[in-house]
Amino acid sequence: MPDTNPLLSNWSTPFGMPPFGAIRDDDFAPAMAAALDQGRANVNRIADNPDAPTFANTIAALERTDDVLNRVAGVFYNLAGADSNPAREALQRDFAPQLSAYSSEIVNNAALWARVDALWQARDALDLTGEEARVLYLTHRGFVRAGAALQGEDRGRLSAVKARLAVLGTQFTQNVLADERGWFMEAADTDLDGLPDFVVSAMRAAGAEKGASGPAVTLSRSVIVPFLQFASRRDLREKAYAAWTARGANGGDTDNRAIAAETLALRQERATLLGYDSFAAYKLETEMAGTPAAVRDLLMQVWEPAKAQAVADADALTAMLHTDGINGDLQPWDWRYYSEKRRKQLHDLDEAELKPYLQLDAMIEAAFDCANRLFGLEFAPLAVDLYHPDARAWEVTRGGEHLAVFIGDYFARGSKRSGAWCSAMRSQSKLDGNVRPIVVNVCNFAKGDPALLSYDDARTLFHEFGHALHQMLSDVTYQSISGTSVARDFVELPSQLYEHWLEVPEVLQKHARHAVTGQPMPKALLDRLLAAQTYDMGFQTVEYISSALVDLDFHDGDAPADPMAAQADTLARIGMPHAIRMRHATPHFAHVFAGDGYSSGYYSYMWSEVMDADAFAAFEEAGGAFDAATAAKLEKFILSAGGSEEADTLYTKFRGKMPGVEALLKGRGLDKVA
Ligand SMILES: [Zn+2]
């Protein structure tokens, strides 16, 4: 009975908010079934339309096919991530194959593809607006990339390749997890020398979890990394480091090396079937970088200064090793330990001293205040039904005009997945009336009274709020290109850019006030905080870029028969420093092998960073962090424009030129290396 299902009825709530109080978990499965039925009926109506294809009856109509699905999925996936329970987890497992079958049906609908392709071939005669032409191009490209144009055997082979890749990706992930879970090292009390309390208690908890009698080192990042930073026992560091870096390469059932080789070969086959020179060419076609050569060029420009900095740092750390009476070379299991000691000498920054100045509510206020000064946005608390008592809502307006609803859900809880993210429960569009977005920021901050953040937490808050601005300021006609619907290597620009305002001294001076005394953060503490941000960037950049280059080499050209040998070749070619290893070696490089997401795309974090550094420099060059003309350009060409044009076009309109690496090198403190 769809009319009684609150997900399917009309929402006569303020701003068309989902009626959370009325939705029960039992409502999702029937609503999803109805949404998919309706989507199928809509698609078939377009495909079987006896009229000749037009932009309106085919492309614009396709934009509307999933109106109900978007509404149901918008609510469901927000809850599944931010407030799950066993019923919602089961629904998630049920929905995944249904949704992937639904999207396969659409791209495999021959009559629909014929209409889309006919429009594409006739595009020059259609008299389309810029945005319409863009949506036609993206729709057509999506069909081609999914294999809609393939005939006969090729079509069947592509499906088989994709299915096998999905199996390999899952197996890869499970093997890494199995190796991670299977190893632990019990520690005697005498092994705990030098370890701070928080590491010891994490080790005790880890030991209890493994059924050990005392504390233990495990391969969970939250245990192994602090252990390597603080453990004075070099032999134990070496042992733990060896286990950590051997994940997925231990022989036996959980070894990932053969899986990596098969994955790379199948990806190459997939790209060849679709008509691309290489898998990297296929993957990068939709990205701002565009080509493997552009990615390589960027990475190598940063590689040399980063390596020079790392080599200089290695000398300093080696001297500390020798002072400890240990002869020989600095080893990879030594780096974090000596680097931590050196950090204390150079930047004695005490988190406990900092924390009282970073109150959650004040940092939310700071993010709002910057958006007000830059874009004139105003935020008013909204009393509406939400899905959890910790979630809060604000109405976002400008000059009295409604722009969006913003929901902030900041506290960690057991029902929330880890990490932080921004999602739109409803995206902006203008195809059928002025639809304004409902945007959610979800984080995992510790609760407290008042809730206090670490500096990293505060940066995360600003980061997610930058994504939210990309959604809230969106101003396009078609939903498929609105807000954050942009290339993967462009989508982190607004978020990483917004982090820069947290570092503007006047922002912290105004909003970072002591929770008890109300005093602003002392200048000396602020200076130390900002100086510490670039510490050990040589190491971090080297371990990241080496991983990104290995990823690129794997997919650029013929797939290597022996990925481990190919990895060694790449590292030798770039002159990898002895005491640093790749951030993710091939047998546990989940970004690349657990699925397609970041394959030949691991570079994209740095690509975005190049742009955010360069974009913030545009403000500084123009006279300051709140320069009005630059903010107006940022909104016009980037924050409101979604995917309405190619990312490099949008960026060039904003900045007048493409970004260079200078601002990134400066931001990472790598600009002064000899
Ligand atoms: Zn992000």
Task: Work out the average pLDDT over 521-545.
Answer: 91
Q: Check whether 458 has a pLDDT greater than 50.
A: yes
- Predicted confidence band of residue 3 (pLDDT cuts 50, 70, 90): low
Helix, strand, or coil (residue 585):
coil
- Give yes or no for residue 158 having a pLDDT over 90: yes
CB 648 within 8 A of CB 654: no
Name, in order, each residue with C-beta under 8 angstroms of 45's C-beta and a sequence gap of 6 or more: 61
The CA distance from 327 to 330, in Å, is 9
492 CA → ligand 1 middle, Å? 5
Over residues 654-660, mean pLDDT: 94
- The tokens describing 542, both together, are 């080297």
In the three-class reduction of DSSP (H, G, I as helix; E, B as strand; rest coil), residue 268 is classed as helix
Q: What is the pLDDT, as a whole number, of residue 54?
A: 98
Residue 386 has pLDDT above 90, yes or no: yes
Alpha-carbon gap, residue 550 to 570, rounded angstroms: 6
At 1 the pLDDT is: 45
CB 65 within 8 A of CB 42: yes
Q: CA–CA separation, 10 vs 302, rounded Å?
A: 53
Q: How far is the CA of 421 from the centre of ligand 1 (A)?
A: 7
Structure tokens at 588: 């546990």
Give the model confidence (pLDDT) of 412-434 as tens digits. 888 988 789 999 999 999 999 99
Under 8 Å CB-to-CB from 83, ≥6 apart: which residues? Answer: 387, 388, 413, 415, 416
Q: Which residues are catalytic?
A: 464
% pLDDT > 70, the chain: 99
Backbone conformation region of residue 131, classed left if phi is above 0, alpha if psi is from -120 to 50, else beta: alpha
Mean pLDDT of the chain: 94
Confidence label for 527 from pLDDT (cuts 50, 70 and 90): confident
Residues 6 or more apart whose CB falls under 8 angstroms from that of 565 comprise none
Tell me, in angstroms, the distance from the centre of ligand 1 to residue 12's CA.
32
| Centroid of ligand 1 to alpha carbon of 485 (angstroms) | 13
- The dihedral over CA atoms of 266, 268, 272, 273, expressed in degrees to the nearest 10, equals 20
Residue ranges of alpha helices (H) inside 5-151 are 28-47, 61-64, 67-82, 86-107, 110-121, 130-145
Instruction: Give the Å distance between the CA of 465 and the centre of ligand 1.
Output: 9
Ligand 1 centroid to residue 147 C-alpha, Å: 30
Q: CA dihedral defined by 149, 154, 157, 161, rounded to 10 degrees?
A: -50
Q: How confident is the model at residue 485 (pLDDT cuts 50, 70, 90)?
A: very high
Residue 407: HSE in the Cβ half-sphere, 13 Å Cα cutoff: 28
Ligand 1 center to residue 303 CA distance, Å? 23
The token duo for 615 is: 């974009």
Distance from the alpha carbon of residue 304 to the mean position of ligand 1, in angstroms: 27
Q: What is the mean pLDDT of residues 629-634?
A: 98
Distance CA 637, CA 639 (A): 7
Asked if residue 273 has pLDDT above 50, the reply is: yes
> What is the structure's pLDDT at 663?
92
Average pLDDT over every residue of 33-51: 98
- Tens-place pLDDT, residues 350-375: 777 888 999 999 999 999 999 999 99
Q: CA gyration radius for the chain?
A: 26
pLDDT of residue 2: 45
Read off the pLDDT band of 523 (50, 70, 90).
confident
Q: What is the pLDDT of residues 597-619, one digit of tens each?
A: 889 999 998 999 999 999 999 99
CA 392 to each of CA 185, 376, 651: distance values in angstroms, whole numbers, following the listed order: 43, 21, 33
What are 171-220's pLDDT values in tens digits?
999 999 899 989 999 998 888 888 888 889 889 988 998 899 899 999 98
409 touches 376 (CB < 8 A): no
If you measure from the C-alpha of residue 495 to the centroid of ligand 1, how many angstroms do you get, rounded to a whole number? 6
CA distance 343 to 316: 12
